[in-house]
Amino acid sequence: MARHLVTSAIPYINGIKHLGNLVGSQLPADLFARYQRARGNEVMFICATDEHGTPAELAAQKAGKPVADYCAEMHEVQARIAEGFRLSFDHFGRSSSPQNRHLTQAFAKRLHEMGLIREVSEKQMYSNADGRFLPDRYIEGTCPNCGYDSARGDQCDNCTKQLDPVDLINPRSVISGSTDLEMRETKHLFLCQSKMKDKLEAWIDSKSDWPVLTTSIAKKWLNDGDGLQDRGITRDLNWGVPAQFEGAPWGGMEGKVFYVWFDAPIEYIAGTQEWADANGGDWERWWRTDKGADDVTYTQFMGKDNVPFHTIGFPATILGSDEPWKLVDYIKSFNYLNYDGGQFSTSRGRGVFMDQALEILPSDYWRWWLLSHAPESADAEFTWENFQVSVNKDLADVLGNFVSRITKFTRSKFGEAIPEGGDWGEAGEALIAELTTRIRDYEKFMEAKEVRKAAAELRAIWVAGNEYLQSSAPWTVFKTDPVQAGAIARLALNLVPLYAVLSAPFIPDAAKSMLEGMHATDQGWPDDVAAAVRALPEGHAFTTPEVLFGKISDEQREDWQSRFAGIRT
The nearer residue to Zn ion, 148 or 475, going by C-beta atoms, is 148
Minimum distance from CB of 110 to Zn ion (Å)? Answer: 43
145 binds Zn ion (CB under 5 A): yes
The nearer residue to Zn ion, 158 or 404, going by C-beta atoms, is 158
Q: How far apart are the first and last CA of the chain?
A: 49
- Which of 19, 67, 143, 354 lies at the binding interface for Zn ion (CB under 5 A)? 143
148 binds Zn ion (CB under 5 A): yes
163 binds Zn ion (CB under 5 A): no
- Say if CB 466 and CB 398 are below 8 A apart: yes
Query: Which range touches Zn ion (CB under 5 A), out of 103-111, 157-165, 376-384, 458-466?
Result: 157-165
- Which of 87, 111, 156, 337 lies at the binding interface for Zn ion (CB under 5 A)? 156
Taking residues 329 to 368 in sequence order and writing x for each that binds Zn ion by CB under 5 A, - otherwise, the string is ----------------------------------------
Burial degree of 243 (CB within 10 A; 0-12, 13-18, 19+): buried
The nearer residue to Zn ion, 159 or 530, going by C-beta atoms, is 159
d(CA 374, CA 446): 13
Minimum distance from CB of 151 to Zn ion (Å)? Answer: 5
Q: Which residues pair with 51 in a beta bridge?
A: none
Minimum distance from CB of 182 to Zn ion (Å)? Answer: 24
**Residue 22 amino acid letter:** L
Backbone angles phi, psi at 100, to 5 degrees: -70, -35
Q: Is 346 annotated as a binding residue?
A: yes
Backbone angles phi, psi at 528, to 5 degrees: -115, 100
Query: Which range touches Zn ion (CB under 5 A), out of 141-149, 175-183, 321-329, 496-504?
Result: 141-149
159 binds Zn ion (CB under 5 A): yes
Site for Zn ion in 222-261 (CB under 5 A): none
CA atoms lying within 13 Å on the CB side of residue 183: 7
Residue of 236, 120, 239, 140 whose CA lies nearest to 181: 140
547 binds Zn ion (CB under 5 A): no
d(CA 385, CA 114): 56
Query: Which range touches Zn ion (CB under 5 A), out of 38-46, 62-70, 146-154, 380-388?
Result: 146-154
The nearer residue to Zn ion, 22 or 156, going by C-beta atoms, is 156
Taking residues 88 to 127 in sequence order and writing x for each that binds Zn ion by CB under 5 A, - otherwise, the string is ----------------------------------------
User: What stretches of 518-552 show up as alpha helix (H) in DSSP?
Assistant: 529-532
Q: Is 156 annotated as a binding residue?
A: yes
- Say if CB 545 and CB 517 are below 8 A apart: yes
Query: Which range touches Zn ion (CB under 5 A), out of 144-152, 168-176, 263-271, 336-344?
Result: 144-152
How far is CA 68 from each of CA 59, 82, 233, 238, 453, rounded to the nearest angstrom?
11, 21, 22, 11, 43
d(CA 408, CA 180): 77
Q: Is 47 annotated as a binding residue?
A: no
- Say if CB 235 and CB 229 are below 8 A apart: no
Minimum distance from CB of 158 to Zn ion (Å)? Answer: 5
Minimum distance from CB of 137 to Zn ion (Å)? Answer: 15
Minimum distance from CB of 567 to Zn ion (Å)? Answer: 21
Consecutive H or E run containing 118: strand 117-127
Q: Is 480 annotated as a binding residue?
A: no
296 binds Zn ion (CB under 5 A): no
The nearer residue to Zn ion, 162 or 480, going by C-beta atoms, is 162
User: What stretches of 187-235 show up as alpha helix (H) in DSSP?
Assistant: 197-205, 212-223
d(CA 317, CA 103): 12
Query: Which range touches Zn ion (CB under 5 A), out of 136-144, 163-171, 256-264, 292-300?
Result: 136-144
Minimum distance from CB of 168 to Zn ion (Å)? Answer: 10
The nearer residue to Zn ion, 148 or 250, going by C-beta atoms, is 148
Consecutive H or E run containing 489: helix 482-503
Minimum distance from CB of 156 to Zn ion (Å)? Answer: 3
CA atoms lying within 13 Å on the CB side of residue 66: 3
Q: Is 192 annotated as a binding residue?
A: no
d(CA 223, CA 220): 5
Q: What is the dihedral of CA 548, 551, 557, 558, to 10 degrees?
A: -140
User: What stretches of 280-383 show up as alpha helix (H) in DSSP?
Assistant: 284-287, 307-308, 314-321, 354-360, 363-372
Minimum distance from CB of 160 to Zn ion (Å)? Answer: 8
155 binds Zn ion (CB under 5 A): no
The nearer residue to Zn ion, 154 or 329, going by C-beta atoms, is 154
- Say if CB 496 and CB 410 are below 8 A apart: no
Q: 3-state class of 315 per DSSP?
A: helix
User: What stretches of 251-338 show up as alpha helix (H) in DSSP?
Assistant: 260-279, 284-287, 307-308, 314-321
- Which of 158, 346, 404, 436 lies at the binding interface for Zn ion (CB under 5 A)? 158
Strands 296-303 and 3-8: parallel
- Which of 2, 68, 120, 146 lies at the binding interface for Zn ion (CB under 5 A)? 146
The nearer residue to Zn ion, 166 or 473, going by C-beta atoms, is 166
- How many chain residues interact with Zn ion (CB under 5 A)? 7
Minimum distance from CB of 180 to Zn ion (Å)? Answer: 24
The nearer residue to Zn ion, 148 or 245, going by C-beta atoms, is 148
The nearer residue to Zn ion, 159 or 430, going by C-beta atoms, is 159
The nearer residue to Zn ion, 142 or 215, going by C-beta atoms, is 142
Q: List residues forming the annotated binding site for ATP.
A: 346
Q: Return binding residues.
A: 143, 146, 156, 159, 346
What are the binding residues for Zn(2+)? 143, 146, 156, 159
Q: What is the contact surface with Zn ion in residues (CB under 5 A)?
A: 143, 145-146, 148, 156, 158-159
